Amino acid sequence: MKRICLGLVLTIIVCAGIAFAQGGVKKKRVPLYEYGNVTIDNYSTRAGLFPVLFQHWSHRAKYTCRVCHVDIGFAMKTGDTRIRAADNMKGYFCGTCHNGSMPFKEGKVFDACAKPSPGADQKRCRRCHSGGDEAEREDAFERFAENLPKERFGNGVDWEKAEQEWLIKPVDYVKGISALRPNLPVQKDFALGAKVEGMPEIIFSHKKHTVWNGCELCHPEIFVSVKKGSNTYSMMEIFEGKYCGVCHDKVAFPQMSCQRCHTKPVS
């Protein structure tokens, strides 16, 4: 019993540590509608435009992570893709879908970067180079999330449950971009031992992750090996944005939701 209590206390302490940045400064919890947002400003400010504010929530409801980060080729780290308007006009990156011709609902996906120049069409540009209209973004998110299952952390949406219940139907294939590939056998869930005695073990589900990521998003870029036990890592590395931390704390549910991973009862 003492070991179990010790493990639970240490779990709370470790998870509470996520709330602090380096130097002991407490991190401010971002509003729900901002969680997962990415500011892209490699070239925008120099061109006299607001930076692009990319909202992950509005895109992950429609497409899997693998479509964007494998098939289309967006980097996993903000700013590393170095997207230019000229790239979008040629049909790369954002322009893969935002080309004015890809079907969406009863219409077409709007054209993100098309001639004439931005100075002649500022209204269209502001759909992505949106500036500081927070009230509009908050309202859009609240309308989107209103009927979706709730989660305590992140942006308040339980994405896994929403997908399981078909409330969202993320597409895993874009014609002309994605390669048709046979589905690999789904690997069984497995336990990862906690390094602190008495702390519940992690149950990792390949099935849950492959729905969104496939295999190639995680292997070999994030987890080099595909053999169980070959990768060794610590919670501090994950907190620093490595391994699981590449997605969790950024877009997927944050690591302060300890019980989502540490689920195997202590024997």
CATH number for 124:
3.90.10.10
User: Are 206 and 221 within one domain?
Assistant: yes
pLDDT digits (tens, 9 = 90+) for 223-254: 988 777 777 888 899 999 999 999 999 999 99
DSSP assignment of 6-64 equals HHHHHHHHHHHHTTB-TTSPBPPPPPGGGTT-EEE-SSTGGGTSPPEEE-HHHHHTTB-
**Banded pLDDT at 91 (limits 50, 70, 90):** very high
Quote the mean pLDDT of the chain: 85
User: Are 111 and 41 within one domain?
Assistant: yes
In angstroms, rounded to a whole number, what is the distance separating the alpha carbons of residues 230 and 264? 21
pLDDT digits (tens, 9 = 90+) for 116-129: 655 556 777 888 98
User: Are 39 and 82 within one domain?
Assistant: yes
Pull the structure tokens for residue 255. 């690591």
Judging by DSSP bridges, how do beta strands 201-204 and 262-264 pair with one another?
Answer: antiparallel
Instruction: Tally the domains of the chain.
Output: 2
112 belongs to a structural domain: yes
161 belongs to a structural domain: no
H or E segment at 190?
strand 190-192
Q: Residue 196 pLDDT more than 50?
A: yes
pLDDT (0 to 100) of residue 180: 84
CA angle 140, 212, 94 (to 5 degrees): 55
87 belongs to a structural domain: yes
User: Are 107 and 23 within one domain?
Assistant: no
pLDDT (0 to 100) of residue 89: 92
What mean pLDDT comes out for the span 86-95? 94
What mean pLDDT comes out for the span 242-267? 89
User: Are 80 and 116 within one domain?
Assistant: yes
Query: Are the CB atoms for 78 and 39 separated by under 8 Å?
Result: yes
User: Are 124 and 45 within one domain?
Assistant: yes
User: Are 110 and 85 within one domain?
Assistant: yes
141 belongs to a structural domain: yes
Query: Are the CB atoms for 63 and 69 separated by under 8 Å?
Result: no
**Phi, psi at residue 133, to the nearest 5°?**
-80, 75
Q: Which residues span the domain enclosing 233?
A: 2-30+185-264
Model-level pTM greater than 0.75?
A: yes
User: Are 15 and 83 within one domain?
Assistant: no
User: Are 45 and 122 within one domain?
Assistant: yes
3-state helix vs strand vs coil in the chain, percent to 5: 35, 10, 55
Kindly tell me the sign of the dihedral angle through the C-alpha atoms of 195, 198, 204, 208: negative
